Amino acid sequence: MMNEENVKTLIGLVSQYSPSGQERGAVEYLVARMKSLGYNDAFIDDAGNAVGVMGKGAKQIVFLGHIDTVPGEIPVRVDGDILYGRGSADAKGPLASFTDAVAKVGAVDGWQFVVIGAVEEERDSEGARFVVGQYKPDFAIIGEPNQWDRVALGYKGSAWANITITRGQAHTASGEETAAEAAVEAWLKIKAYADAFNSDKPKAFDKLLITLRGMESDSNDFEQVATLKVGVRLPVTVSPQDWYKILNETLKVSETFRVLVEPIGFALPAWGCEKNTPLVRAFLSGIRAQGGEPKFVYKTGTADLNIVAPVWKCPALVYGPGDSALDHTPNEHIKLDDYQKAVDVLSAALEKLTS
């Protein structure tokens, strides 16, 4: 039978609807909850993140989860072993499990645990971009749902670009290629490059995954213009800068057409975590102690890992209960038994890591 006290943090956090930009209520709830659980300090930082600190030691472990969700409120309810609600999987389940596990372990001599509920992850990760300069942890654990018995060691990078093709106006009877037709050819060139790059790579994590997210064209008395919005999920071997260079070289300017590749938004490099670390070994041990058979996963999306790991340069991994297939869906939910197992895994991992 479920012990309601064991899932109080989770249910309370999920009950605070907090789409990106509207996280304040959830942040205030989590800070208050951390204080009630005995954290040495709990506060709202200058970016609006919820932060809880346990212990005062010189060695530091940062638990970075995100407290925002995508829009779309789902009535919060418990049905047997299942909690329904927006964010129950992505990613309040992982964040709440961090909060409860650190409270369960308590302060450890020589160590400081910092739990962060970051804002804006579902948009531009403003919360993570702020904390990356505030901490220098010895170990970092990022919260995303990947099932309680799995550890994620890699997330792909991403980069977006607007590709604008311009040419002088021509008579419709001239038979000359239009800017819109040239844009189609440009997309086919990009796709051909990606197909060739991917041909000897069986794993999605190692591939260039491109998407054409928009296309429009226009003209005036003197010019024709066509624009493509192209996105890519990047492997570790291709940086965002590499990708923009590839686009410029693949779409070389001709005498007739002018091509402008314009990066948009925040590009993120892919990141793969080291597997043979004390951090990973502690989690494998914790999963086995709960009767699980641990597995490693590499994700095709991005996470705050991509922002902090290249700067902190410490052993890191991504962990959290919940099924990522339910992220952003109208049926988002989490199994409470899986949540409690995750808390126990985290607690055991912490105790092993700090012993």
Active site residues: 68, 121
CA distance 108 to 59: 10
Please name the residue that has the structure tokens 């607690």: 347
CB atoms within 10 A of CB 196: 10
Structure tokens at 159: 């980069």
Q: Tell me, what DSSP letter sits at residue 328?
A: T
Distance CA 230, CA 222 (A): 26
Residues contacting residue 54 through CB under 8 Å, at least 6 positions apart:
38, 39, 40, 102, 103, 105, 106, 107, 112, 113, 114, 115
Where does 178-303 show beta strands of DSSP type E? 209-219, 223-234, 257-268, 271-272, 295-299
Q: Are 61 and 112 within 8 A, CB to CB?
A: yes
Beta bridge partners of 7: none
CB 17 within 8 A of CB 29: no
Decide: 176 and 254 in contact? Cβ < 8 Å: no
Residue found by looking up tokens 């060691």 in the block: 153
List the beta bridge partners of residue 9: none
Contacts of 181-184 spanning 24+ positions with Cβ under 8 A: 182/226, 182/257, 183/215, 183/217, 183/226, 183/227, 183/228
